Amino acid sequence: MSRDRAGGAGAPDAFHPGALAVPAVRGLSPYVPGKPISELERELGISEIVKLASNENPHGPSPATLTAMRGALEAVWLYPDGSCHELKGALARHLGVTPECLSIGNGSNDLLMLLAEGFLSGECSAVYSQYGFAIYPLVIRATGAQAIEVPAQPRSAGMPFGHDLAAMAAAVRPDTRMLFVANPNNPTGTWAAAHELTRLLEALPASTLMVLDEAYFEYARERGLPDTLPWVIEHPNLVLLRTFSKAYGLAGARVGYAVSHPEIAEVLDRLRPAFNVNALAQAGAVAALADAQHMQRSVAVTMREQARLCEGLARLGLWFAPSAGNFVLVEVGARAPQLFQELLTRGIIVRPLANYALPDYLRISVGLPEHNDRLLAALRELRELCAPATTARAAPSATSAASATPATTAAATAARSATAR
């Protein structure tokens, strides 16, 4: 191939093979994940880095899970079980559903893509919320479908930046095939109460699938959010998405699942690459389910730490959104990029949110107690880069935080203390 044909710099008739992509894909920008530890080590030549940027579980998987994954290595020369038979069986028993309702993905991200591929096209639309998980508009647009973004609740609402479910229901058109709700949502941490979700489900036409993304389900249960599984029986247009990446500590293994009507699972099965879930991930997920105590212990510690982190942020005079996940959205002000950089030089990676049109905010994942101590100490040191909260938050209303969260939880107390300022 000549240099010009290969797109050589400055060539007058440079060939741009990227322009051959289908029109829907040409306008997309790739998802930018949190900075990996290895990259920061390379850049700054420092070690003992704390990563609080991708909502992982720093407690990691249980020893029994790691043993099972090491065991699976012995047979790594074989293709994995393409049907995920053992994992589906274990999940079916764990959830009390039939295996036909289950789809397993290379992370729940894989399932989001398969759902979009299976049910969206250039002739239809899909609805999601402003500040909703960034993958939703990406997978919608990649199919050529119209992405309808619905404004989130205002910062002054009881659930600041939360999905406005009534407005989302109102945005549904006859051509709307899918509506995405993250509960709780990433990056805001906000959530909707059971009665708000069921009202939305009841309002949706049967021709619109509701994808209820519960990536943080196990943490959210700790905050009293509902078990939504029975709703799948009553609503054949509901798809639940959950993952082993967060509470189960298996983000690097890539395994997530959907619970849906068997016909939806069958559509996903037609599209799914034959071996989309690798053997180590399958072995790890089966073992992790069998050792639920480990996960539950780490969730309890994390949510206690989340409350402690919030108390520390409140003491620094910083505003943060209420969160039912293992992370907190914090307002730090216009100098967020400098603060992010300063934290990096101290070996702490958090998540800037300019790509979510929240340039004055950072998302901080809850780490181990010593990680959170390090973060709070660094923030104290860097206080002059943080803008104290400017607007008071309205008290949680009866239809949002208060009704969804047991009023006695430490997080609710911390959230109220921030409100009171």
Ligand X SMILES: Cc1ncc(COP(=O)(O)O)c(C=O)c1O
Nearer to ligand X, 51 or 314 (CB): 51
Which range of residues in 103-111, 141-149, 159-167, 201-209 is near ligand X by CB under 6 A?
103-111
Nearer to ligand X, 97 or 240 (CB): 240
Please, what is the minimum distance in Å from the beta carbon of residue 104 to ligand X? Answer: 11
Q: What residues from 126 to 145 belong to the interface with ligand X (CB under 6 A)?
A: 133
Nearer to ligand X, 68 or 212 (CB): 212
Nearer to ligand X, 135 or 336 (CB): 135
The CB-nearest residue to ligand X is 107
Which range of residues in 104-112, 167-175, 269-277, 349-357 is near ligand X by CB under 6 A?
104-112
> Quick one: tokens of 83?
């049907």
> Is beta strand 327-331 parallel, antiparallel or unpaired with respect to 348-349?
unpaired
Nearer to ligand X, 243 or 306 (CB): 243
> Quick one: tokens of 167?
């407005």
| Among residues 208, 243, 276, 298, the one that binds ligand X under rule CB under 6 A | 243
For 127, phi and psi rounded to 5 degrees? -110, 140
**Residue 325 CB neighbours (<10 A):** 31
Please, what is the minimum distance in Å from the beta carbon of residue 183 to ligand X? Answer: 9
Nearer to ligand X, 55 or 260 (CB): 55
Which of 141, 94, 108, 139 has the alpha carbon at shortest distance from 276? 108
Please, what is the minimum distance in Å from the beta carbon of residue 232 to ligand X? Answer: 18
| Among residues 57, 65, 103, 108, the one that binds ligand X under rule CB under 6 A | 108
Nearer to ligand X, 138 or 385 (CB): 138
Question: 7-46 mask for ligand X (x: CB under 6 A)?
Answer: ----------------------------------------
Q: What residues from 213 to 242 belong to the interface with ligand X (CB under 6 A)?
A: 213, 215
Q: What residues from 166 to 195 belong to the interface with ligand X (CB under 6 A)?
A: 182, 186
Which range of residues in 105-113, 160-168, 346-354, 403-411 is near ligand X by CB under 6 A?
105-113
Please, what is the minimum distance in Å from the beta carbon of residue 55 to ligand X? Answer: 5
Beta bridge partners of 139: none
Q: What residues from 249 to 278 belong to the interface with ligand X (CB under 6 A)?
A: 251, 256
Nearer to ligand X, 241 or 379 (CB): 241
Nearer to ligand X, 282 or 419 (CB): 282
Based on the shown chain and the rule CB under 6 A, indicate whether residue 62 belongs to the binding site for ligand X.
Answer: no
Based on the shown chain and the rule CB under 6 A, indicate whether residue 109 belongs to the binding site for ligand X.
Answer: yes
108, amino acid identity: S
Please, what is the minimum distance in Å from the beta carbon of residue 339 to ligand X? Answer: 22
Residues within the interface to ligand X (CB under 6 A): 55, 107-109, 133, 182, 186, 213, 215, 243, 245, 251, 256
